[in-house]
Amino acid sequence: MTIECGTSRITGCQFTLFPMSDDFAEVILSTLEKVDMSKVWKSTDDVTTCIRGKRVHIFDVTKALFLHAAKTGKHVAMSGTYSIGCPGDSSADVYMDESNELMNESSSEAVQQQAGCKFSLYPLGEEDYMEKIYQQIDWSKTTEVSVSHAHYATRLDGDVHDIFRVLQQSFEQVQNVVSHVTMTFTISANSPSNQKEQEQ
């Protein structure tokens, strides 16, 4: 299947940042102040935030939000779904004219943070979707992050920059061959729990 304009299709992410602290509102507000969201369309309510625009900016903004929140040292998590090619999507096309220059990469680079992340890819409308998922899991094992299997998801552990690089590239590679793709993720930093899995 060939997809026209593969590099300029509108991408979105519906996500929530969860600071596990009494001053969660301040953590979110101070994080928002540090992140430049001028190149994405944005809509926020009390459940999630949705941003839409060029893929590079969607990943730039979500990574920056998580990094600046985690930098507070508080236990923070972020959960959401990236989406591209949704037939029900309406356009916010003005943001597709923005340049590719990343607005947050330099401030993000200054933050070093370890995290754990679980993600799942959903290539839609295709019978051989499992094969495309397995290809990405195999590919992710060739990267800097530590990759492990979880039920219904793949777990990535490592530096947040590396984790988002794997997320972005996995999403990128699948949307090259499948029109409508979603990718869910939950990323967590500064958790007091150890990572040891506990099964009952």
Among 30, 81, 143, 146, binds a second copy (CB under 8 A): 81
Provide the β-strand partners of residue 53. 11
Of residues 143 and 186, the one with the C-beta less far from a second copy: 186
* Shortest reach from residue 97's CB to a second copy, in Å: 16
Per CB under 8 A, contacts with a second copy among 116-175 are 116-118, 120, 122, 124-127, 129-130, 133, 150-153, 155
**186 binding a second copy? (CB under 8 A):** yes
Number of amino acids touching a second copy (CB under 8 A): 62
The residue written with tokens 């070093």 in the block is 112
Alpha carbon distance 124, 110 (integer Å): 37
Q: Is 77 in the site for a second copy (CB under 8 A)?
A: yes
In degrees, rounded to 5, the angle at the alpha carbon of residue 75 between the alpha carbons of residues 106 and 194 is 115
Q: By C-beta, is 109 or 134 nearer to a second copy? A: 134
The owner of tokens 């979603």 is 182
| 44 makes contact with a second copy (CB under 8 A) | yes
Q: Residue 164 corresponds to which amino acid?
A: F
User: 169-193 burial string, b = 16+ CB within 10 Å, else e?
Assistant: ebbbbbbeebbbbbbbbbbbbbeee
Min separation Cβ 143 and a second copy, Å: 18
